[in-house]
Amino acid sequence: MSTSDDLYLIDLKPEDYRMAFTEVAFLMDSFAAAIDNIMGSVTAPVGRIAGRDTAKKLPVHLSDPTLEVVAQLLRERMCAGFDFTLEQGKLSFSTCIVREVCALRGIETGGALCRLFHAYLDGMMDGLLYRPVKSAIIATGAICHVELEIR
């Protein structure tokens, strides 16, 4: 008889992880494209709602949050797929798993998938900062830059 603990004993090889990444990339691309096709380029509310919901579920409480504190917290929590810095109201992404998904799928960075991710990140910041945050992608490439506006 199998138990849930047995799930952690699965022997995965590097090729298994590559195949899983390819499948997840396909699903992310399809999901973002479907939302973009249904809603046009106004996908931000979907991402923000999901981000705020995620923020509520994080086991943190910030009594007097600042943008710097929130960005550092998210940077630490998301370090497996992202590395970003905050400087003068701009996030700079040196590592971004979404950019890797775009490259794998042959889609342009800054498009529907990136916009949906940044709306999601906005929502998490909203939920932790207790103030609306809106981002705008200002440059994509080896390092992507996003300008933040706090309302």
* Separation between Cα atoms, residue 134 and residue 139, nearest integer Å: 16
For the stretch 11-52, pLDDT in tens is 888 898 888 888 888 888 888 888 888 887 677 889 999 999
pLDDT value at residue 89: 94
More confident call, 139 vs 41? 139
Q: Please say whether the beta carbons of 121 and 53 come within 8 A.
A: no
pLDDT above 70: residue 2? no
71 vs 9, 17, 32, 53, CA distance in Å? 35, 28, 24, 17
- List the 144-150 sheet strands across, edge first: 82-87, 90-96, 144-150, 133-139
